[in-house]
């Protein structure tokens, strides 16, 4: 590939990676608080895509109102999942919580198929997709919008975590939940808020995914959800900047692999990266090695 083609793939990869990053943030936030890999998170992403679809196609909303509606509904769904499925398992073994997360994932998938069928939907076009020339590469207005939405949401998340009362509570619970409870922090509400924020970001990712790829279906959350998990592990599970960097890196790698003619391997490369990172640096790019008592 020449320099212009490399730049084009870099731009495509950043757009895709920003979607992975938004989903990965939910994984990493929940893990950072209660050490749970919420494998139902990909299905929250799928629900967000469908809420955005019905808001745009059925109710005639424009992009941003549909995005906000999807985020709000997914936040509520995230809290409901946490209260019903995970709250009683906080003191259970990790394998019990993990199996429950997989069960919730399958329940949501099949529930959506039962109520609306398995047929895919074509996302309505709500944005005028114009192309701009950037150093010889073509940049679409949709790619720019997706990247801007991701960056703004990530900045807001960083502000919430580091500058607000609930953010301080999240960091305290993450560090030591028992000590946080003794200091008067409502641990249950803090965990619910974490699920709400992470799920709202997954809902936003679902809407921008639908705009970007134009096709959605009830099983669409499986592969992006697993890739976002890889991105979270790559950056350092439980570390918010790590999820951002991991998502962007994974998106760029996928775009380059496809451009080199190995498009059939684009899904496999994420899991090759996961295997390598677990072998050579299990704590991830931003993580620190620490021993865990078992």
Q: Give the model confidence (pLDDT) of 236-258 as tens digits.
A: 887 888 888 999 999 999 888 88
Number of domains observed in the structure of the chain: 1
Residues with Cβ within 8 Å of 60's Cβ and at least 6 positions away in sequence, in order, are none
CA atoms within 13 Å, Cβ hemisphere of 210: 33
Q: Within a domain: residue 214?
A: yes
Q: Within a domain: residue 180?
A: yes
Alpha carbon distance 116, 119 (integer Å) = 8
Q: Within a domain: residue 247?
A: no
pLDDT score for 289: 59
Alpha carbon distance 132, 196 (integer Å) = 36
Lowest average pLDDT, out of 15-29, 125-139, 165-179, goes to 125-139
User: Does pLDDT of 170 surpass 80?
Assistant: yes
Percent of the chain with pLDDT over 70: 94
User: Does pLDDT of 229 surpass 60?
Assistant: yes
Alpha carbon distance 48, 78 (integer Å) = 11
Q: Within a domain: residue 182?
A: yes
Compute the mean pLDDT over every residue in the chain, rounded to the nearest whole number: 87
pLDDT score for 137: 67
Alpha carbon distance 272, 211 (integer Å) = 28
User: Does pLDDT of 294 surpass 70?
Assistant: no
**Sign, CA torsion 144/217/220/73:** positive
pLDDT score for 41: 92
Alpha carbon distance 71, 68 (integer Å) = 5
Structural domain of residue 172, as residue ranges? 13-125+135-221
Per-residue tokens: 162: 């580091």
Q: Tokens 């967000």, residue?
A: 48
Q: Are 149 and 142 in contact (CB under 8 A)?
A: no
């Amino acid at each position: 590939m020449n320099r212009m083609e490399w730049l084009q793939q870099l731009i495509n990869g950043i757009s895709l990676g920003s979607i992975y990053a938004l989903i990965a943030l939910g994984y990493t936030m929940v893990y950072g608080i209660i050490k749970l890999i919420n494998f139902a998170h990909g299905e929250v992403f799928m629900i967000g895509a469908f809420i955005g679809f019905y808001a745009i196609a059925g109710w005639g909303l424009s992009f941003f109102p549909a995005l906000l509606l999807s985020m709000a509904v997914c936040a509520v769904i995230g809290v409901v999942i946490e209260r019903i499925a995970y709250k009683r398992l906080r003191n259970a073994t990790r394998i019990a919580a993990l199996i429950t997360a997989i069960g919730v994932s399958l329940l949501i998938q099949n529930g959506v198929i039962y109520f609306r069928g398995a047929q895919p939907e074509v996302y309505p076009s709500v944005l005028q997709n114009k192309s701009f020339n950037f150093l010889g590469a073509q940049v679409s207005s949709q790619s720019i919008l997706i990247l801007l939405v991701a960056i703004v949401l990530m900045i807001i998340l960083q502000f919430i975590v580091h500058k607000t009362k609930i953010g301080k509570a999240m960091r305290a619970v993450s560090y030591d939940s028992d000590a946080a409870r003794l200091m008067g922090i409502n641990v249950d509400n803090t965990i619910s808020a974490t699920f709400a924020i992470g799920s709202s970001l997954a809902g936003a990712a679902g809407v921008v995914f639908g705009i970007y790829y134009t096709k959605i279906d009830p099983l669409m959350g499986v592969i992006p959800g697993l890739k976002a998990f890889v991105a979270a592990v790559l950056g350092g599970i439980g570390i918010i900047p790590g999820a951002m960097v991991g998502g962007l890196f994974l998106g760029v790698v996928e775009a380059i692999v496809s451009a080199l003619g190995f498009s059939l391997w684009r899904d496999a490369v994420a899991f090759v990266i996961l295997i390598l990172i677990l072998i050579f640096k299990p704590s991830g790019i931003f993580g620190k090695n620490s021993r865990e008592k078992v």
